[in-house]
Amino acid sequence: IDELLAEGVAGKRVFVRADLNVPLDGTTITDDGRIRAVQPTIAKLAEAGARVIVASHLGRPAGAPDPAFSLAPAAARLGELLGADVAFATDTVGTSAQETVAGLADGQVAVIENLRFNAGETSKDDAERGAFADRLAQLADVYVGDGFGAVHRKHASVYDLPARLPHAAGHLIATEVGVLKKLTDEVKSPYVVVLGGAKVSDKLAVIDQLLGKADRILIGGGMAYTFLKAQGHEVGISLLQEDQIPTVTEYMQRAEKNGIELVLPVDILASGEFPDLKTKAPADFITVDADKIPSDKEGLDIGPKTRELFASKIADAETVFWNGPLGVFEHPDYAGGTKAVAQALLDSPGYTVVGGGDSAAAVRILGFDENAFGHISTGGGASLEYLEGKTLPGLAALED
Ligand code: 3PG
């Protein structure tokens, strides 16, 4: 983007593919981190006199307009952050978008409606995606990719559109890639990785890679129960992916062979009922050793002994990467594990990276100072796929 700004963008229509996929409670944004992260790119372009068209997806609507997934709240928040009026187009490539863009003066910003309201955005069919990208290309003269959270998606606005316009990477993508390079090419040991979140299947490929790179892998959250089951423990009605047990078993054997510590929870907060996340009524749970979860209970957070154990494994790390909450942090009674890991990262003298929409949001929602971490990534799946060593379509499209 610096080269683009040096060339001059005054009067040019610049399409910024952002990731404004923020968590919403109705129309209230509960964490605006992703909007704040892309704001500098938008502000710089506007200051330089560009006519800025901001586009993003939000949620996973079914390829047609759906008011529950409107980008209107995100557009309003962007306007507040920029301290300027931000125009809003109620469609993506239709009359509203065309008129809104045509009405932009130099230095003004518009947001167009959720790209996923058009089936062409996410289509697996190259021609259908290409046709949507052609229409998006008519709105703009230049493309800036800055939606790091979506670069792992081969979608029209991420992958096909940059091929149709002169293009550049924005500040956010440049920063995110710089940080992830530190975790792949130049990582400092001890390198500790903390993985949480619900599904073990989302993390298999990254664990596979990390078994050759990390010194310690700490596993919590819903995914831990598949590991505990693979060790022969009873996990009650906890989240479990039985079909992944053979893979997980192989990983545990490989970790041992490679001298990598794979650390599992030693105690668990378990309950017979999932907590009410709306009322946040006090939860009814017991603390049990991880090999003694009763058959009628599910694990919902790591217990106090595990929190201490994980903190001790993080304490001397030179590098820490954390992805995924350790428990149901949205309920105060099950937020302790996630808080303990966040605090352990803050206490660590090493370089700390929080990756993932959920863990990044958790850190902010639980009241931690986001600037105290080395880096908080805006990309969940994107940062994991980068660490897996995959080619990310949205980065490949910008690289030429
Ligand atoms: C995310 O939240 O990880 C990104 O915005 C991508 O969203 P998606 O998983 O719906 O493609």
Q: Which of 357, 379, 380, 394 is the catalytic position?
A: 357
Specify the pLDDT at position 356. Answer: 76
* 199 catalytic per annotation: yes
Query: For 291, phi and psi rounded to 5 degrees?
Result: -95, 10
Which residue has a Cα nearest atom 3 of ligand 1? 380
- Please enumerate in sequence order all residues whose Cβ is within 8 A of that of 71, keeping only pairs 6 or more positions apart, or say none: 20, 56, 58, 88, 111, 112, 113, 114
| Atom number, ligand 1, closest to the C-alpha of residue 59 | 10
Angle between helices 33-47 and 357-365 (to 10 degrees): 100
* 381 catalytic per annotation: yes
Is the pLDDT at 251 greater than 90, yes or no? yes
Residues with CB under 6 A from ligand 1: 19, 21, 60, 149-150, 153, 357, 380-381
Is the pLDDT at 153 greater than 90, yes or no? yes
Is the pLDDT at 212 greater than 90, yes or no? no
For 82-104, how does the pLDDT look when each residue is reduced to its tens digit (9 = 90+)?
999 999 999 999 999 999 999 99
Specify the pLDDT at position 158. Answer: 98
For 377-389, how does the pLDDT look when each residue is reduced to its tens digit (9 = 90+)?
999 899 999 998 8
Residues 322-348, mean pLDDT to the nearest whole number: 96
Higher pLDDT, 83 or 182: 83
- Mutation pick for ligand 1 pocket among 17, 19, 20, 21 (CB with most ligand atoms within 8 Å): 21
pLDDT more than 90, % of the chain:
90
pLDDT more than 70, % of the chain:
100
Specify the pLDDT at position 104. Answer: 98
Specify the pLDDT at position 100. Answer: 98
Residues 318-329, mean pLDDT to the nearest whole number: 96
Assign 361 a pLDDT band (cuts: 50, 70, 90). confident
- How far apart CA 268 and CA 334 sit, in angstroms, is 10
Specify the pLDDT at position 27. Answer: 94
Q: Are 225 and 201 in contact (CB under 8 A)?
A: no
Q: What is the mean pLDDT of the chain?
A: 95
* 164 catalytic per annotation: no
* Residue 367: how many other CB atoms lie within 10 Å: 8
Specify the pLDDT at position 186. Answer: 84
Could you list the residues known to form a binding site for ATP, using ranges.
203, 299, 330, 356-359
For residue 261, the number of C-alpha atoms closer than 13 Å in the C-beta half-sphere is 16
Specify the pLDDT at position 358. Answer: 81
Assign 140 a pLDDT band (cuts: 50, 70, 90). very high
- How far apart CA 113 and CA 69 sit, in angstroms, is 9
| Atom number, ligand 1, closest to the C-alpha of residue 153 | 11
* CA distance readout (Å), 322 to 20, 61, 313, 341: 22, 29, 13, 9
140-144, 157-161, 370-374, range with the lowest pLDDT: 370-374
* 357 catalytic per annotation: yes
Helix or strand (DSSP H, E) at 179: helix 171-184
Looking at the DSSP bridge assignments, the partners of residue 218 are 194, 263
Distance 71 CA to ligand 1 centre (A): 14
Distance 20 CA to ligand 1 centre (A): 10
Specify the pLDDT at position 202. Answer: 85
Label residues 104-143 b or e (16+ Cβ within 10 Å = b): beebbbbbbbbbbbbbbbbbeeeebbbebbebbbebbebb
Sheet of 267-271: strand order equals: 286-289, 267-271, 298-302
Could you list the residues known to form a binding site, using ranges.
19-21, 34, 57-60, 116, 153, 203, 299, 330, 356-359
Specify the pLDDT at position 365. Answer: 86
| Atom number, ligand 1, closest to the C-alpha of residue 57 | 5
N residues, the chain: 400
Specify the pLDDT at position 260. Answer: 96
Q: Which of 221, 236, 381, 394 is the catalytic position?
A: 381
Specify the pLDDT at position 324. Answer: 93
Q: Which of 34, 51, 313, 339 is the catalytic position?
A: 34
Assign 364 a pLDDT band (cuts: 50, 70, 90). confident
Which residue has a Cα nearest atom 6 of ligand 1? 150
Specify the pLDDT at position 357. Answer: 73
Distance 58 CA to ligand 1 centre (A): 8
Can you give the pTM of this predicted structure? 0.90
- How far apart CA 11 and CA 180 sit, in angstroms, is 34
Assign 317 a pLDDT band (cuts: 50, 70, 90). very high
Q: Which of 296, 287, 299 is nearest to 228 (CA)?
A: 299
- How far apart CA 266 and CA 89 sit, in angstroms, is 52
Residues 118-122, mean pLDDT to the nearest whole number: 98
Assign 201 a pLDDT band (cuts: 50, 70, 90). confident
Specify the pLDDT at position 64. Answer: 96
| Atom number, ligand 1, closest to the C-alpha of residue 381 | 3
Distance 60 CA to ligand 1 centre (A): 8
- DSSP alpha helix (H) spans, 83-167: 95-102, 126-137
- Mutation pick for ligand 1 pocket among 30, 57, 114, 122 (CB with most ligand atoms within 8 Å): 57
Query: For 66, phi and psi rounded to 5 degrees?
Result: -150, 110
- Please enumerate in sequence order all residues whose Cβ is within 8 A of that of 36, keeping only pairs 6 or more positions apart, or say none: 81
- How far apart CA 325 and CA 319 sit, in angstroms, is 19
